[in-house]
Amino acid sequence: MSFQNPTFIPGPTNMPEALRKACDMPTIDHRSPLFGKILHPCLDGVRQVLGSRDASIFFFPSTGTGGWETALTNTLSKGDKVLAARNGMFSHRWIDMCQRHGLDVQIVETPWGEGIPTDEYARILQTDTNHQIKAVLATHNETATGVRSDIAAVRAAMDAANHPALLFVDGVSSIASMDFRFDDWGVDVAVTGSQKGFMLPAGLAIVGFSVRAVAATETADLARTFFDIRDMQRSYEASAFPYTPPVGLMNGLKLSLEILLEEGIDNVIARHARIATGVRLAVKAWGLELCAASPELYSDTVSAIRTPEGFNATDIVTHAAEVYAVAFGVGLGDVAGKVFRIGHLGSLSEVMMLSGLATAEMCMVDLGLNVKLGSGVAAAQEYYRSHPAPRLARS
């Protein structure tokens, strides 16, 4: 096993050394003022990254999945109707969670590779005149298919229907990597985790609640204890947690936010877009196609690449791991064996990405695909050299 190479899976992402070190800290008393010096910068930093002025931010020792549960159980009651599109493995799992909590999910079945069908959302919301739908779910970036949905258009569909439902957005593989606008899009709950855009180990669910979503906790009757935001909120006022916080991870988050904000969120977003464009040009040069059906859907954090009929895409991932000690992502669910995924988010530079593209080429050639060594790398190189990163102003 080699740890020399970066990984190219869409989370957990590569960890900068500084963040690894920040997570590795001596024990502190989490009931002392020291903890507040970690907690409060994290709350402020995440609020900025989400693009919000007054969202309430919460951290749970959990993962993105726990963030989904936080969104649902704090705001909804048994039997409540929610609207959700199923267009990949992650939206599927969130729907499954809703059903297990006794929610009534109106599922819009959507081909894998398509985004949220906002016209269909609009039609459903228009006809829901007595407002049975209490929440609209939106997976911003479907990590299984590399599809980015248009959250502004989801909000527009809700507004056009004058619909009061809450808007919950899964931003696990988009927040801190792609444009995300909590306030502008009227998001009520945003969900993410520590191990993707924030470049940390897994272990934190990171959620933002709007004022309306916080208020919904007063009437929501789904069972919750560990994920009750009211306990968190009360504890935060005393710079504490209702239980033992994962202090090392939060210390890592504090530094992650400093690094992201120093680079500048707009620059972080532009870097992801630039790296992703190089990957897509490489895919084109290989003569392959993305799972995402059209350019406006292309994700800037993960590309799911279709392999030719009769070829098992998972072989590329297995081969890369065994022969070159490099990790790519396998296809999940409906697209298992049909796609392999290149994750390109988090702590990543153009130069690192070129090594991933070169490795993917070696694997495909080794396995007999009709791909020319260097073709994708050259396409990405041409793009990267003609679109250099703006020099970081370091003080």
Ligand X SMILES: *Cc1c(COP(=O)(O)O)cnc(C)c1O
**Binding site residues, ligand X, CB under 6 A:** 11, 63-65, 90, 139, 141, 143, 170, 172-173, 193, 202
Residues making up the chain, counted from first to last: 395
Q: How far is the CB of 110 from ligand X (least distance, A)?
A: 15
**H, E, C per residue of 300-349:** CCEEEEECCCCCCCHHHHHHHHHHHCCCEEECCHHHCCCEEEEECCCCCC
Q: How far is the CB of 215 from ligand X (least distance, A)?
A: 26
Name the residue nearer to ligand X (CB basis): 342 or 377. Answer: 342
Name the residue nearer to ligand X (CB basis): 202 or 336. Answer: 202
Q: Which residue is listed with tokens 């799911």?
A: 304
Q: How many CB atoms lie within 10 A of CB 1?
A: 4
Q: How far is the CB of 394 from ligand X (least distance, A)?
A: 31
Taking each helix axis from N to C end, the angle separating 89-100 and 64-75, rounded to the nearest 10 degrees, works out to 40
For residue 252, give every residue at least 6 positions away whose Cβ sits within 8 Å of its Cβ, in sequence order, or none.
Answer: 19, 20, 22, 23, 194, 200, 201
Strand order in the sheet with 166-170: 56-61, 204-209, 189-193, 166-170, 133-139, 81-86, 104-109
Of 108, 105, 189, 117, the C-alpha closest to 153 is 117
Q: How far is the CB of 98 from ligand X (least distance, A)?
A: 14
Separation between Cα atoms, residue 331 and residue 314, nearest integer Å? 7
Q: How far is the CB of 66 from ligand X (least distance, A)?
A: 7
Name the residue nearer to ligand X (CB basis): 163 or 196. Answer: 196
- For 295, which DSSP code? G
- Whether residue 12 is preceded by a cis peptide bond, meaning omega within 30 degrees of 0, is yes
Name the residue nearer to ligand X (CB basis): 193 or 376. Answer: 193
What DSSP assignment string belongs to 66-108?
A: HHHHHHHHHH--TT-EEEEEE-SHHHHHHHHHHHHTT-EEEEE
Name the residue nearer to ligand X (CB basis): 140 or 254. Answer: 140
Q: How far is the CB of 123 from ligand X (least distance, A)?
A: 25
Q: How far is the CB of 206 from ligand X (least distance, A)?
A: 10
Q: How far is the CB of 141 from ligand X (least distance, A)?
A: 6
Run of H or E including 277: helix 265-285
Separation between Cα atoms, residue 229 and residue 73, nearest integer Å? 10
Q: How far is the CB of 75 from ligand X (least distance, A)?
A: 18
Name the residue nearer to ligand X (CB basis): 64 or 246. Answer: 64
* Contact present, 380 and 357 (Cβ < 8 Å): yes
Separation between Cα atoms, residue 195 and residue 9, nearest integer Å? 11
Name the residue nearer to ligand X (CB basis): 73 or 143. Answer: 143
Q: How far is the CB of 131 from ligand X (least distance, A)?
A: 27
